[in-house]
Chain A
Amino acid sequence: MKDFAKLFADLDETNKTNEKIRILKAYFMYVPDADKINTLALFTGRKPKRQINSTLVKTWAMELSKIPVWLFEESYQVVGDLGETIALLLPEPEGSQDKSLTEWIAEINNLASLKEEERKLWLVSSWAVMDRQERFVFNKILTGSFRVGVSQSLIVKALADISGLDASVLTHRIMGNWDPLHFSFHDLMQEQDASDDISRPYPFCLAYPIQETSTQVKSAEEMELALGNPEAWQAEWKWDGIRAQAIYRDKEIFIWSRGEDLVTDKFPELHRFMMDLPDGTVLDGEAICFSGECPLPFNVLQTRIGRKNLTKKILTESPMAFIAYDCLEYQGDDIRSMPLKYRRSILEKLHAESPHQDIFRLSAIVGFSNWKDLYALRLQSRENVAEGFMLKRIESVYQTGRKRGDWWKWKVDPLSVDAVMIYAQKGHGRRADLYSDYTFAVWDGDKLVPFAKAYSGLTDKEMSQVDQYVKRNTLEKFGPVRTVKPGLVFEIGFEGINQSSRHKSGVSLRFPRILRWRHDKKIEDADHIEVLRALLG
């Protein structure tokens, strides 16, 4: 655990990619194999099951730190992270420990069989032998909130450098269903793939955005310059559902989301078409709600994602379909290295043979002969219930992860309104102790009604300026939330808007974020609620 805590601290202390890889390699070469695979599991989001809930962890930490509850809460507000707050507040350690990461994780897993008092005793005595950094990392693992500021690709790069295996091979091997108890470092590093996991998905090929914000709209001419001959490209609508990989192998089906969650049970409508595919088929596509021939907006899908039980009502109101756009495996063969036009022909064949045309849909190819036409068509994305276009090079292989060059997403410009910031709250992580989470309002007559919360979109410098504004213009404090004197106007961008009975304003926005700070506008110049209502259509 000492090595792991140090690894975490070392990674924290550099911003340089090469330095991070160097640190990871040094760590992987030094620690035993069991720690290696456990580290890999943690770094790829495979956390041990949470055995003690955070409320109990918090309560016991408070008892030990001997401070009142309110002061603990205020400390948490400043630190912005529970595991770190606890690590800072606990009394000095009474001793030290030298158990490995693997041993600690085994102890955490063993908690399942212990009674609450035994768990408490274990936790208190564990904290007593750890220093601050160890406690911090340990708390993060224990409370299931372990996240690390290192991308999966960096870890893979470090492992690839050490083992001599190809990075894309390793990326594939660490996908899907595995846990460090049953998949060893040795298994991972075999020359030949040792996995017999038929559920294992392929790493998703991800697209780079053509443009990030509304301020950088790319013209047809710029597209021509950047991408060249339109004939080399395939355009498809960018669907607003859930990216998913549908697998049918050995008469079993698996549906994986882009976040590597197994979501097979969430989409029962898709099961039949998958069962009727030829054995050894893997499709890449979009799980999306459909009504007749028309995809439904994302919020319809959103209402069913979180549900444990899919009631008949939900299934009727939000029926699913699968829009397929790629085939990664055919007749048991990995065909990712074949060009897109070949994979597309296989996909079209599979589709034509499927008796489930209403569920298994093809992502239509949008024909265009020049970028001007496509530019004009893109402006109709919203009418087509799409987020814009996907552009794929016809000769391209199916890449591992996000690679620049072959796949681009060309999204439609976000909708936007000018709004006034009225509440502020301190953020978490790197925004800790800064008023960086805001609630925005628009005018309803002569009143400001809140309609969205947003935090991303400002530069660090702007954030600290807004932070100062909040501190100097606080009208009231409600726990961690401050009511702020209206004074700052921001342009808020969003992807969609829906009616909502849960919000005061009567609307809810999809993915609201700050596009820019409108220094040039006074609060009187902010938009009115009617503008939002008009967008409801």
Chain B
Amino acid sequence: MTQPLLQFNDKGIYCAAGDFYIDPWRPVDRAVITHAHSDHAYWGHKHYLAHSLSREVLYYRLGEISLETLDYEQETLINGVKVSFYPAGHIIGSAQVRVEYKGEVWVASGDYKLEDDGLSTPFVPVKCHTFISECTFGMPIYKWQPQQKIYDDMNQWWKSNAAEGRTTFIAGYSLGKAQRILQGLDLSIGKVYLHGVIANTNEALERNGIHLPEAQRVTPELVRESARGGLVICPPSAVGSIWMRRFPAVSFGYCSGWMSIRGAKKRRAADRGFVLSDHADWEGLITAIKATECESVCLTHGSTASFSRYLREQGFDAYEANTQYGLEEEENNETILEEKG
């Protein structure tokens, strides 16, 4: 029996025919990267291939790496295996990796969502024989509302905080979520400030030609009192820090798909939880998988056990793979929101 086109080993998703890895978590010679989040783009590979819109963020996060980039639907050959990127809609520059060899097509999704967030290139289903999919939110309890609804709630909350002289904080992962929050804010309410990590990320994206709304970086010189009525976007790791406590009358909200469950929200002791996710919800996952018209689905991370069982009961050939994706968020509570939400 010939070996499968893509297989899972202790380093990542391996293509033997092309001798390359997709999103490897241990150092390899040749890595194809779906997107720049840290559980997919690790440091230490000899050579990287990623989407062109990931370029500057990868340099910012990983330093001087050997990087080659492709645009969406542009094809390259690696040892005779055809490799191309298709939009995954997860964050700016996120891609599904299409791999074709001797007429067989596999697609590795990385992380994805179906809703057009207005920033990342919208998800495109790619026909394939085997679809390697994430299922972070692969339970029927996860159903997202349109992002505009969430933005409206967010702005309304900011407005009432501003009226009471509070400083509003919204926590969301620095790459992806932070830009979505920034985009959704009604800038007529007040001034927007960015945590340094987010400001750096935005600058990297701007070097990549992405245009983002204007916001002020929080520097040590900033008079904190002047931020009253304003809104600060920060990464979840900054919540509760001395950095945050130096601002006056703080009210803070978390932005994550996990916020759809009351217990998770309470645990974070946030004043508000906004259910805004960069991952597909239950319906989204099913729609995406059906659209690939695939014969097999392989689930890499998230609710893999329940979701694969459900898919099998629906007649799919679905199975779980053991990967390190989404694992980093288990390291501590903070990073849960950093990666997944």
Contact = CB atoms under 8 A, between A and B. Distances in A.
Contacts of A15: 269, 271
B263 interface: yes
A427 B140 CA distance: 20
A181 B267 CA distance: 37
A429 B265 CA distance: 10
Given A68-B310, A74-B306, A89 B263 contact: no
B272 interface: yes
A471 B330 contact: yes
A75 B139 contact: yes
Q: Closest 4 A-B residue pairs measured CB to CB?
A: A432-B263, A430-B266, A88-B141, A464-B333
B285 to A, nearest CB: 14
A14 interface: yes
* Chain A residues touching B, majority SS: helix
A67 B314 CA distance: 11
Interface centre among B141, B310, B330 (most CB of A within 10 A): B141
A81 B331 CA distance: 26
Given A78-B141, A88-B141, A13 B271 contact: yes
Contacts of A221: none
A530 interface: no
* Chain B residues touching A, majority SS: helix
Interface of A: 12-15, 65, 67-68, 70-71, 74-75, 78-81, 84-85, 88-89, 136, 149, 427-434, 460-461, 464-465, 468, 471-472
Contact of B139 (A65, A74, A465): A74
Given A13-B271, A84-B262, A432-B264, A68 B313 contact: yes
Given A13-B273, A75-B141, 10 more contacts: A14-B271, A71-B309, A75-B140, A78-B261, A79-B262, A428-B263, A430-B263, A460-B267, A461-B333, A464-B332
Contacts of B267: 430-431, 434, 460
Given A75-B140, A464-B332, A468-B330, A88 B260 contact: yes
B271 A79 contact: no
A71 B140 contact: yes
A78 B262 contact: no
B82 interface: no
Contacts of B333: 460-461, 464
Contacts of B332: 461, 464-465
B143 interface: yes
Interface in B165-197: none
Interface string B228-253: 00000000000000000000000000
Contacts of A81: 262-263
B330 A432 contact: no
Contact of A79 (B261, B272, B330): B261
A15 B140 CA distance: 29
A78 B271 contact: no
A84 B265 CA distance: 13
B24 to A, nearest CB: 20
A85 B330 contact: no
B261 A84 contact: yes
A236 to B, nearest CB: 39
A460 B264 CA distance: 12
B84 to A, nearest CB: 35
